[in-house]
Amino acid sequence: MKTIWHNPRCSKSRTALNLLKDTSVDVHVFHYLNESFTYEDLMSVIEKLSIPVIELVRTNEKIFRASGLSRTSKDELLIEAMLQNPILIERPIIISGDKAVIGRPPERAMELFK
């Protein structure tokens, strides 16, 4: 089973979800903007992505700048900001076992099938 952290208002997220559904694999859709998640959940995603925390942050969102954050902010501040404002989390995130990818472009979701 694959899990997708999904924002239905995002075209790339919708495209990635459709690609996953086309594979006939079971997909759990996690609407991260409406469903709650914990610090541990977010840390698990970051670990599975194997990327710097800042790469998971949507730095162009108004709330990013309004929060006084920058690309050089400490990881803990960025994580706290994402917990408080999930809109800051890059999407979609596709998770399979101990690996994850950010589906930008959406075709990256298919990397988990290699």
CATH number at residue 108: 3.40.30.10
Amino acid present at 44? S
Total domains in the chain come to 1
Q: Is residue 27 predicted with pLDDT exceeding 90?
A: yes
| 9, pLDDT greater than 80 | yes
Query: pTM for the whole thing?
Result: 0.94
Mean predicted confidence (pLDDT) in 48-64: 98
Segments forming the whole domain that contains residue 36: 2-113
- Across the chain, mean pLDDT equals 96
Residue 56 banded pLDDT, cuts 50, 70, 90? very high
| Whole-number pLDDT of residue 69 | 98
Task: Choose among 5, 1, 48: nearest CA to 23.
Answer: 1
pLDDT at 64: 98
Q: Select which of 8, 9, 10, 77 is catalytic.
A: 10
Report d(CA 38, CA 46) in Å as an integer: 13
Q: What is the pLDDT of residues 61-113, one digit of tens each?
A: 999 999 999 999 999 999 999 999 999 999 999 999 999 999 999 999 998 88
10 part of the active site: yes
DSSP 68-107: T--TTS-HHHHHHHHHH-GGGB-S-EEEETTEEEE-SSGG
Handedness of CA 32, 79, 16, 100 (dihedral sign): negative
